[in-house]
Structure 1
Amino acid sequence: MSDTAVLWCRRDLRLHDAPALTAAAEADRLLPVYCFDPRQYGERPFGGRDSFRYHKTGPHRVRFRREAVADLRARLRERDGDLVVRHGAPEAVLPELVAAVDADAVHFHTYPTPEEAGVEAAVEDAFRNRPVETTRHWGHTLYHLDDLPVPYTEIDDTYTPFRQRVESGPEPGDPLPVPTVPPTPDAVGESIPPGECPTPGELGVEPVEPDDRGVHPFPGGESAALDRLEAWIWEGDNLREYKQTRNGMLGPDYSAKVSPYLNEGCLSPRRVAAAVDRYETERVANDDTYWLVFELLWRDFFQFQFAKHGARFFERPGIRDRTDIDWRDPATDDDAAREFERWCDAETGVPFVDANLRELVATGYVSNRGRQNVASFLANDLRIDWRRGAAYFETHLVDYDPASNYGNWAYIAGVGNDSRNRSFDVLSQAERYDPEGEYVTHWLPELEPLPADAVHEPWTLSEREQAAYGVQLGLDYPEPVVDLRADRG
């Protein structure tokens, strides 16, 4: 008797190097399914102690995700397969489809954060008393769970020892090839309509198009991901100088710009590492070429850290249980609420911070250097509950990944994976990474009349100088929300 498998697609919107797909494709018939889970959209509670409400998924990620789902469907149809799309909770949708096609198995990729694991558990519970086998697969990191030299519960809580231990062991596996896709059950297109992606409005956002001022348009999908990897590494030959350019802030090629594809699963980290290996063999191997793999390992580190520590990462004291920090809560502190609103609105009066926040909201993307400074300003200069900023990033980032986002925010806030002070001197950072003010004036054109030595600190200008340049603080650009020079002593 032939068998039928259901593939529950999640943040794994690709055909290459997808263990769940590879296993499911061994069946005679295959029904891939993607669910737009309503719980991932609209305004939701953060949960836990000192909860607050925030918007889960903003317009940039909605656009990217809808394009990625459409691309996956197109790639499956090229192989005589299909993708069924539904707007509903997976634990409700999947049992109905499994029953409709009389499936024997459900395959899916597993993820380490409590929210994602909770949905997996609900899906498994839905099949507990049915003759259907559910199988989890790990497939979103460079080093898989079985590659680790120790159980994930015993990995180091700081990055360098983790990296050194992992790199001293076996190499990560090669990416899996695209399997032969079995035909979809006959019911698809007849009694089971494939369905369409919900509209942006149905997902709680206004439609948005890529902003021309952004560093990259980030079209969604595996096809765009593979094109970007090929163009950046081979056509642009950018890998040979990556370590030197990675702290850039303007232009498409200072970094690989593949994080949205990695985090939505359109691109496998093993596929990226394999491209680096081939580049090093065919062109050059140096510190720059290694650095992209170094950053993939940072991504791995946070995935395994969340598997180890779970929900503690989302608590205000963090995994280090830092109860000694007097966090300001916008829910109970009016001044903190006003300052947080100014931070969100890119009106802190600190140009380097505001420029990065404008880029984030306009494009869904901001450089790693910008993220660190924006996070440090909120957490270390304003001392506002760091989770508020992390949740704001969750809303807006096109490349949002829960482990990377909250792990990095906790790291900067001093409640995460490093005991050292991670406070950034935002003004020094601005002078170092944007010495001519090109980045700031790109996003804050109202400051273009200012000379380079004043663009990062316009409050240093006298009223006469402000009038001469046509930039009046409090009118054309805000007064700073905090005196950074005084804070730095």
Structure 2
Amino acid sequence: MPAPPTDARPSPHAPDHLQVVWLKRDLRVTDHRPLCEAAGRGPVLPLYIVEPQVVNAPDFSARHWAFIRESLQALREALAARGQPLVVRQGDAVPTFQRLYEAAGAFTLWAHEETGNARTFARDVNVRRWARVHALPFHEIRQHGVFRGLEDRDTWSDRWTAHMADPPVAPPEALRPVPIRPGTIPTADNLGLTASYDTVQRGGAAAGERVLRSFLETRGRRYHKQLSSPNTAFDHCSRLSPHLAWGTVSLRSVLHATRKRQADVGRAAPWHRALAAFESRLHWHDHFIQKLESAPRIEHESFIPALDALRADAFNAAHYEAWTEGRTGYPLVDACMRALTATGYLNFRMRAMLVSFAAYDLWLDWRRFKDVLARRWTDYEPGIHFSQLQMQSGTTGINALRMYDPTKQAREHDPDGAFIRRWLPALAPVPTAYVHAPWLMPRSVQASCGCRIGRTYPAPIVRHETAVTQARQRIAAARKRPAVQQQAAEILERHGSRRGRRGKGASSTSNTPPDRQQTLDL
């Protein structure tokens, strides 16, 4: 990095010294308070660091980078239009800041708080320590309605409401530039990431705003009716989840736009119900991330640690591989996995069914498959990811067991088999009467349609009814143990919602929300 135009190194308390805005999962200029605070205090260096420990982690993929890279390109243009393009560097965070300090002298560092995985948590701790050693101000500002140091949920809902009530922060009109080369934005190949997908949602703030606008104006009209079926959810869910996960739009901006649209439509059905259902999911977005913020351990152990022993010695590699490759013999499970692998998206009900099948039918430990799913979701958000995996695996101790019957789900949400036939070509010629459960086809029907079970399409690798009965019995027995019940009571106090509980800050949300209230339908 080139030295500043003068040899003088201003004090970090001088009025015009360098302001560094460290961008992570907040790739936008609108509703970006660190950027606005920095812009009012001196020349601004907006910095994104491509960190090897992040991009080489087992929960990161080329799909993520494709979305991030496009978002970085758009962000560079938006910042350049204000006077200072985005600066991109590769390397670990602390050495990168150290080189900047040696080249430019003291600076103030700005960033949003991030609730990420253990790697980014440790990285942030190291950066704070480095800034203290060098007596550099480091301001971390809340981005979501997620609060550090929260002891319980008694006040969370009220605090979330107050935080979200503030209007989105307008972007700075101009930035005082810094004489520094912007640096290249690497490709997936540059980073050694192998692409394994067909499509990915478009990144960037403008793309996110288009998606939001189309949802609120047209696509979301029957959101509450069409979010469960994989045939309709791809178009009629908001599809904002990757934009929220990587911060190309802010949750507060989405909430305010939703409420404005609610005011415009009034009580008109079906818009009123659709928007109310969508707003509830914005609330649940932060509800789940708060769980990880308050208990980082849930990335690596169950909410109820005593339940980790249930599946510890039961890993079946053949079952795991069949599940990840979409060849379990259950058509909707396999179609969903192949759709996810190709597109990076599934609606919540189908995500929950995939996890339920892995956790109950195949009796797989959620820690065994958390990374493969994280790599495949374009919208991977650690706080939501770990909480949802555990909810659908029965390890929270406070949520009802949801054991999805994949054949029942197929008949209800893909009645004509259109989704199954799209993603499983071997089943395309199968009559509708058998497409949801092809193992029931008589040999004569198999011969006439050319689909041989066990040859062109696999037979079921487990019997659903037997597997879930055994899973239910095992978990029920474990939940009766005093140690598990004590841990569950502690989890409810620390992480549960407050519906039906009197007292200060009682929330209006339920502790065990039904599927229609979950956040992953975003």
* Structure with more helix by fraction: 2
Q: Distance in 1 between matches of 2:188 and 2:24?
A: 18
| Structure 2 contact 215–236 (Cα < 8 Å) conserved | no
User: Which of 43, 49, 71 is the equivalent residue of 1:68?
Assistant: 71
Aligned position for 1:301: 287
Residue 499 of structure 2: aligned partner = none
The residue aligned with 2:359 is: 379
Residue number in structure 2 paired with 1:47: none
Describe the shift of the 1:269–1:103 C-alpha distance in structure 2 as closer, same or farther (beyond 3 A): same
In 2, Cα distance between the equivalents of 1:101 and 1:181?
22
1:258 and 2:272 correspond: no
**141, 147, 154: which is aligned to 1:145?**
147
Given the alignment, which residue of 394, 399, 409 partners 1:414? Answer: 394
C-alpha distance in 2 between matches for 1:72 and 1:83: 7
Q: Please, which of 184, 188, 192 is the counterpart of residue 204 of structure 1? A: 192
Q: What corresponds to 1:49 in structure 2?
A: none
Deviations 1:208-250, CA, capped at 9 Å, x for gaps? 6753xxxxx511111111111112212x2x3342211221313
- Please list, as runs of the form range in 1=range in 2, the aligned pairs for 1:305-344 lying within 5 A after superposition: 305-311=291-297, 313-316=298-301, 318-323=302-307, 326-327=310-311, 329=313, 333=315, 336-344=316-324
Deviations 1:82-110 (A, max 9, x none): 11111111111122123323342001111
Query: Deviation of residue 265 (structure 1)?
Result: 0.5
- Summarize deviations over 1:349-373 as a string: whole Å, max 9, x none: 1111111110111111122121100
Q: Measure, in 1, the Cα distance between the counterparts of 2:275 and 2:282.
A: 12
Pick which of 442-451 and 372-381 moved more. 442-451
| C-alpha separation in 2, matches of 1:437 and 1:283 | 35
> How far apart are the structure 2 equivalents of 1:462 and 1:485?
21
- Residue of structure 1 in register with 2:119 after alignment: 115
**Aligned amino acid, residue 225 of structure 1:** G
Aligned equivalents of 2:40, 2:160: Cα separation in 1: 33
CA deviation digits over 1:297-346, x for unaligned, max 9? 111011111111121x1234x1122437621557xx5xx01110111111
Give 2:140's aligned amino acid: R
Q: 2:24 matched to 1:10?
A: yes
Determine if the alignment matches structure 1 residue 105 to structure 2 residue 91. no
Partner of 1:399: 379
Matched residue type, 2:47 = V
**Worse overlay, 128-137 or 81-90:** 128-137
Structure 1 distance, partners of 2:225, 2:139, is 43
Q: CA deviation at 1:10?
A: 0.2
Q: Please give the alpha-carbon distance, in whole angstroms, between the structure 2 residues aligned to 1:307 and 1:355.
A: 34
Q: TM-score, normalised by structure 1?
A: 0.86
What TM-score results when the alignment is normalised by the length of structure 2? 0.81
Q: Could you tell me whether the CA contact under 8 Å between 1:394 and 1:405 is conserved in 2?
A: yes
SS at match of 1:267: coil
Contact 1:41/1:204 (CA < 8 Å) preserved in 2?
no
Alignment partners' CA distance in 2, 1:417 and 1:296: 24
Q: 1:417 and 1:173 mapped to 2: Cα distance? A: 35
User: Contact (CA 8 Å) 2:322, 2:328: kept in 1 or not?
Assistant: yes
Matched letter for residue 100 of structure 1? A
Instruction: State the distance in 2 between where 1:295 and 1:207 align.
Output: 31
Superposed displacement of residue 260, structure 1: 0.4
8 Å CA contact retained: 1:352, 1:430? yes
Instruction: Give 1:239's aligned residue.
Output: 220
CA distance in 2, matches of 1:208, 1:20: 35
Change in 2 beyond 3 A, CA 1:327/1:154: same
Q: Quickly say closer, same or farther: Cα 1:363–1:134, change in 2 above 3 A.
A: same
Greater mean deviation of Cα atoms: 107-116 or 321-330:
321-330
Task: Select 1:35's aligned residue among 49, 54, 65.
Answer: 49
What SS is found at the alignment partner of 2:140? strand
Q: For residues 256 and 30 of structure 1, what CA distance do their matches in structure 2 show?
A: 34
CA RMSD of aligned residues (A): 2.3
Matched residue, 2:209: 226
Partner Cα separation in structure 2 for residue 302 and residue 207 of structure 1 = 29
Q: 1:418 Cα deviation (Å)?
A: 3.3
**Quick one: distance in 2 between partners of 1:325 and 1:429?**
30
Do the aligned residues in 2 keep the contact of 1:27 with 1:182 (CA within 8 Å)?
no
Q: Which of the numbers 176, 183, 194 marks the counterpart of 1:195?
A: 183
1:478 counterpart = 2:458 = yes
Q: Read off the aligned partner of 2:307 and give its amino acid letter.
A: T
Whether the aligned pair in 1 keeps the contact of 2:370 and 2:386 (CA below 8 Å) is yes
Would the alpha carbon gap of residues 342 and 297 (structure 1) be closer, same or farther in structure 2, given more than 3 Å must change? Answer: same
Q: Taking structure 1 as reference, are residues 323 and 106 closer, same or farther at Cα in structure 2, changes over 3 Å only? A: same
Distance in structure 1 (CA, Å) of the matches to 2:428 and 2:172:
54
Structure 1 CA distance, aligned partners of 2:174 and 2:395? 45
| Range 28-37 or range 172-181, more displaced | 172-181
Distance of 1:338 and 1:162 partners within structure 2 = 43
Letter in 2 for 1:304: Q
Which range moves more in the overlay, 256-265 or 436-445?
Answer: 436-445
**In 2, Cα distance between equivalents of 1:324 and 1:401:** 23
**Cα separation, partners in 2 of 1:61 and 1:167, compared to 1, 3 Å:** closer
Amino acid at match of 1:177: A
Question: CA, structure 1 residues 144+304, in 2 after alignment: closer, same or farther (shift >3 Å)?
Answer: closer
Which blocks of at least 5 consecutive residues in structure 1 are unaligned?
45-54, 212-216
| Residue of structure 2 aligned with 1:287, choices 257, 265, 273 | 273
Q: Which amino acid aligns with 1:289?
A: L
- Would the aligned equivalents of 1:241 and 1:289 in 2 still touch at CA under 8 Å? no
CA contact (8 A) 1:241 1:288 kept: yes
2:356, 2:195 → 1: CA distance? 31
> CA distance change for structure 1 residues 3 and 168 in 2, over 3 Å: closer, same or farther?
closer
Work out the CA distance in 1 between the residues paired with 2:59 and 2:164. Answer: 37
When residues 171 and 34 of structure 1 are mapped into structure 2, their CA distance, relative to the original with a 3 A threshold, is: closer
Aligned equivalent of 2:337: 357
Change over 3 Å in CA distance of 1:283–1:417 after alignment to 2: farther
SS state of the match for residue 73, structure 1? Answer: helix
Percent identity for Structure 1 against Structure 2: 26
Map 1:20-99 → 2, pairs under 5 A: 20-42=34-56, 44=57, 55-99=58-102
Q: Where does structure 2 lack aligned partners over 5 or more consecutive residues? A: 1-13, 470-522
Superposition deviation, residue 14 in structure 1? 0.5
- Aligned in 2, Cα 1:101/1:227: closer, same or farther, shift over 3 Å? farther
